[in-house]
Structure 1
């Protein structure tokens, strides 16, 4: 008895295209393009000049503490202390130096605490 040859069925791409279109539509409608929370960050660069009459504030961030110009203080007290130290009509540079073991979350917490302080320009120094 002779074997019948099987005919290959052509694969239809219509179903696959429909599924891809539905997935694309789903992700477009459920994603958001607005920025939830953004922290401004300036990296230290070469050639940046600071006016001679404005003294920068030095902030040392450690894994478990921080100090402003050598004085230890808590993160909660930092905004009030900087508001007193910063000049009202000029922008005071704040240089942030990172200690060993500082996590990205700790740095983000610091930058969020500095956000409401007016009159300061924060620069994070690299290691």
Structure 2
């Protein structure tokens, strides 16, 4: 009866594992961004005094469209439409956000609204 030669396990090489970890580390370091994102300030509403002669606007933000008062419009035409509506005096805008709106879309809309100097903004949070 012939005995099998003893099976000997070969030691694992850590070199290839270290190479893979190094390549993954290098990939994630080069693919990530280290720049600061713009901050958008959300200020609370002012005092609830007597009603003024300000123009009232309503903007509803959904994932697909924007609706200013009753007119549907795209995000690229929001700035010009607001400039047309707020030509004389101050205006108050009530912003309604749908629950499905992404934070990037909301930030894009808030940047456009912040560029309007004569616009007071109030935000309705989704329920």
Band the TM-score falls in, shorter-chain normalisation? 0.5 to 0.7
Distance 1:74 1:61, change over 3 A: same
CA offsets 1:19-59 (integer angstroms, 9 cap, x no match): xxxxxxxxxxxxxxxx86221223468x6246342231000
| CA–CA separation in structure 2 for the residues paired with 1:50 and 1:87 | 23
Q: Which runs of 4+ in 1 moved over 4 A?
A: none
Shift of 1:110: 0.5
3-state SS, counterpart of residue 108 of structure 2: helix
Contact persistence 1:67–1:73 (CA under 8 A): yes
- Partner residue, 1:3: none
- Partner residue, 2:48: 48
Q: Are positions 1:37 and 2:38 aligned together?
A: yes
Gaps of 5+ in 1: 1-34
**RMSD of aligned residue pairs (Cα, Å):** 2.3
Distance 1:113 1:71, change over 3 A: same
- Partner residue, 1:109: 108
Shift of 1:62: 0.3
Give the TM-score taking structure 1 as reference length. Answer: 0.61
Gaps of 5+ in 2: 1-35
